[in-house]
Amino acid sequence: MTINLGQFPRTRLRRNRFDDATRRLVAEHRLGIDDLIWPIFIIEGHGQRIPVTSMPEVERVSLDLLAAHVQDAAELGIPAVALFPATPAEKKNAEGTESANPENLINRAARLLKREYPHLLIVGDVALDPYTDHGHDGVIRRGYVANDDTLAALVKQSLVQAEAGMDILAPSDMMDGRIGTIRAALDEAGHIHTRLMSYAAKYASAFYGPFRDAVGSGKSLTGDKKTYQMDPANTDEALREVAFDLAEGADMVMVKPGMPYLDIVRRVHERFGVPTFVYQVSGEYSMIMAAVERGFLDRERAILESLLGFKRAGAAGVLTYFAVEAAKAMKS
């Protein structure tokens, strides 16, 4: 049966765009505060607020300022923040052992935030790059980021993060088998409620540059991450990655970066029908901000439109450095 969709002039599609109320009534997708996860950068020290040069208006803050830094996000009802540590150089080494220190920066931050804001979800990044002196997400054996040796380190890192009270662990390392290995270790330790949000389809992207400035992993990075992060040319492979992570126990999956990979968000969401998140990464943030600073784009409209695009593609939620600003814009 073919459906008669109407014909001009009896049917005029512009009628449904006639006024604001009609447009709201027929809107197919909506962005809400509940869709947002705010990534934040933390540093050691006291009274420190250090701007990230390549990310206008983004600052790394020390723990004494963290509760105040997060207050707006918590009060606006943003469901989750994702923590990223800028580890001091003297605590980095080839094996990234600081990642397993129960008292490392990110674990202290998690404890502090859970105490201060018990209902705010804390997302812990699981990967070694903030802790390795070579900037890779895993340990290196004979010039190669070694998969299985890295898994052992990721398990230790995951356990101390779960212990510190993180609600969601987000492995961003792209090692094979990490979701299953981490899930088994968490379960064995009794952390059966700790959720896993897998960076399932994470691409070897140029758009992470500003993030690497923020956590200080960029200058030290030797080579690139192409032996573990995905080739930007591929989409079928993203579905395989997601299928593996789901089979291994991922509760939620993520596509990253965002705007250049909306096709992946759509395919993953349609194929699997699981909570699919998308990371509007640092380079996307910086592109919008650079254009805004030069007066080329309307700030609020560009931000909200970029985020709505993720919802339209099928995302359940978005990690975005604009989270607080977007939430404020939606409230007003």
Q: Does 172 engage in binding with ligand PBG (CB under 6 A)?
A: yes
Q: Does 125 engage in binding with ligand PBG (CB under 6 A)?
A: yes
Nearer to ligand PBG, 138 or 314 (CB): 138
- Residues present in the chain in total: 332
Choosing from 60, 91, 212, 267, the residue that interacts with ligand PBG (CB under 6 A) is 212
- CB count, 10 Å around CB of 101? 16
- List of residues 6+ apart from 59 with CB closer than 8 A: 41, 49, 50, 51, 52, 69
What is the helix (H) or strand (E) element at residue 66, kind and residue range?
helix 66-76
Closest distance of CB 147 from ligand PBG, Å? 15
Q: Does 54 engage in binding with ligand PBG (CB under 6 A)?
A: no
Q: Does 211 engage in binding with ligand PBG (CB under 6 A)?
A: yes
Q: Does 208 engage in binding with ligand PBG (CB under 6 A)?
A: yes
Q: Does 320 engage in binding with ligand PBG (CB under 6 A)?
A: no
Count of chain residues binding ligand PBG (CB under 6 A): 11
When CB distances to ligand PBG are compared, the closest residue is 211
- What gap in Å lies between CA 197 and CA 276, rounded to an integer? 9
Q: Which stretch binds ligand PBG (CB under 6 A): 9-17, 29-37, 124-132, 307-315?
A: 124-132
Distances (CA, A) of 69 to 41, 80, 124: 11, 14, 17
Q: Could you write out the DSSP letters of every residue in 266-326?
A: HHHHHHH-S-EEEEE-HHHHHHHHHHHHTTSS-HHHHHHHHHHHHHHHT-SEEEETTHHHH
DSSP SS3 for 252: strand
Residue type, position 29, single letter:
H
Closest distance of CB 218 from ligand PBG, Å? 8
Residue 256 designated active-site: yes
Q: Which stretch binds ligand PBG (CB under 6 A): 68-76, 142-150, 183-191, 204-212?
A: 204-212
Which one from 92, 202, 225, 311 is the annotated catalytic residue? 202
Catalytically annotated residues: 202, 256
